[in-house]
C-alpha cells in the first residue's frame, strides 16, 4: 500500500507540474533573461543569430532540453520560427542555431525542394502554430544542388526520385551566371533565395506575408566555418 501511495503521489506531482508549465507563457523559455520574447519575426531572427554565434564559438548552451521543458512541450508546441533546411545530416537546425525542444519547427528536404508535403507542413506551422518567421537554410557543398549543376553541365538527368529533386533545382542553376568563381556555391545561395521567393508568393502563405504576420528569410550555412550567412 505504501508503494502504491508513493506512486500515486509522484503521478500527482508530475501532473501538477505539467499543468503549471502548460499554463505558463512558453515565450519565456525562448528569451534571454533581459529580453522577453515579443512574438515577432525580428526577435525570432535575433535569437537564431545569437544561437548560431554560440555554435560558431563552440559555446552552445543547449537550452530547453531538461525535464521541465520536456514536460511542458508534451502539453503542446509553440515554436518561434520555422527552418526549412536541407536533409543533409551535417546541418541539423537545432544544433546550428543552438535551440532546444519546441523552439523550432523544422522541415527538411534535399535542396530545400518544395512539394505538396513540404508546403503542407510549412503552411500548418504558419496557420496553426502562428510562427512569425521562416528561414530557408541552404548550405555549402549541397549534394542536391551539386547534382543539378552536374546535370546542367552534362545534360544527363538522374533517374527516379533523385531525378525529381534535380529537376526542381535545375531551373535555378540554369538561371545563375557562371562567372568563373564558385559556381556551386552561387547556385546554393540562388536556390535558397528562389525557394524563399516561392514561399512568399504561395497562395496560402502570401496573405500572412502581406499582412506582416510572417517574414521569410533565405540563408546559407557554411560547413567549414559553421556560420550562417543571411541572404
Among residues 147, 144, 146, 169, the alpha carbon closest in space to that of 156 is found at: 147
Res 158: pLDDT: 96
User: CA-CA distance, 120 to 134, in Å (whole number)?
Assistant: 14
Three-class DSSP labels, the chain: CHHHHHHHHHHHHHHHHHHHHHHCCHHHHCCECCECCCCCHHHHHHHHHHHHHHHHCCCCCCCCCCHHHHHHHHCCCCCCEEEEECCCCCCCHHHHCCCCCCCEEEEECHHHCCCHHHHHHHHHHHHCCCCCEEEEEEECCCHHHHHHHHHHHHCCCCCHHHHHHHHHHHHHHHHCCCCCCCHHHHHHHHHHHHHHHHHHCCCCCHHHHHCCCCEEEEEEECCCCCCEEEC
Q: Domain 26-230 classified CATH 3.20.20.70?
A: no
**Phi–psi pair at 153, nearest 5 degrees:** -85, -30
CA–CA gap between residue 218 and residue 93 (Å, rounded): 14
Do the Cβ atoms of 195 and 114 come closer than 8 Å?
Answer: yes
Over the stretch 64-89, which tens digit does the pLDDT of each residue have?
999 999 999 999 999 999 999 999 99
Model pLDDT for residues 13-38, shown as the tens digit of each residue: 334 333 433 333 344 444 443 344 56
pLDDT the model gives residue 180: 81
pLDDT digits (tens, 9 = 90+) for 206-218: 999 999 999 999 9
User: pLDDT of 97-142, one tens digit each?
Assistant: 999 999 999 999 999 999 999 999 999 999 999 999 999 999 999 9
Q: Name which residue leads in pLDDT, 43 or 34.
A: 43
The percent of residues in the chain predicted with pLDDT above 70, rounded, is 84
Question: To the nearest whole percent, how much of the chain has pLDDT over 90?
Answer: 82
Higher pLDDT, 35 or 195: 195
Given pLDDT bands bounded at 50, 70 and 90, which one contains residue 146?
Answer: very high
For cell 506551422, what's the residue? 125
Could you state, in order of their start, the residue ranges of all structural domains in the chain? 26-230
Residue 148 and residue 126: Cα distance in Å, rounded?
30
Amino acid at each position: 500500500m505504501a508503494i502504491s501511495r508513493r506512486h500515486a503521489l509522484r503521478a500527482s506531482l508530475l501532473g501538477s507540474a505539467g499543468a503549471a508549465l502548460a499554463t505558463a507563457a512558453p515565450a519565456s523559455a525562448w528569451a534571454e533573461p533581459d529580453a522577453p520574447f515579443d512574438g515577432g519575426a525580428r526577435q525570432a531572427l535575433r535569437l537564431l543569430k545569437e544561437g548560431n554565434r554560440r555554435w560558431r564559438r563552440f559555446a552552445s548552451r543547449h537550452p530547453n532540453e531538461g525535464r521541465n521543458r520536456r514536460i511542458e512541450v508534451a502539453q503542446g508546441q509553440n515554436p518561434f520560427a520555422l527552418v526549412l533546411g536541407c536533409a543533409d545530416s551535417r546541418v541539423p537546425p537545432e544544433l546550428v542555431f543552438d535551440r532546444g525542444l519546441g523552439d523550432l519547427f523544422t522541415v527538411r528536404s534535399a535542396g530545400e525542394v518544395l512539394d505538396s508535403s513540404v508546403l503542407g507542413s510549412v503552411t500548418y506551422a504558419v496557420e496553426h502554430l502562428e510562427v512569425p518567421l521562416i528561414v530557408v537554410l541552404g548550405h555549402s557543398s549541397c549534394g542536391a544542388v551539386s547534382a543539378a549543376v552536374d546535370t546542367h553541365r552534362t545534360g544527363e538527368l538522374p533517374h527516379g526520385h533523385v531525378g525529381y529533386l534535380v529537376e526542381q533545382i535545375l531551373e535555378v542553376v540554369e538561371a545563375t551566371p557562371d562567372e568563373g568563381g564558385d559556381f556551386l556555391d552561387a547556385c546554393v545561395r540562388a536556390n535558397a533565395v528562389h525557394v524563399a521567393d516561392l514561399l512568399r508568393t504561395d497562395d496560402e502563405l502570401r496573405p500572412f506575408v502581406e499582412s506582416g504576420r510572417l517574414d521569410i528569410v533565405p540563408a546559407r550555412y557554411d560547413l567549414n566555418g559553421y556560420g550562417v550567412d543571411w541572404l
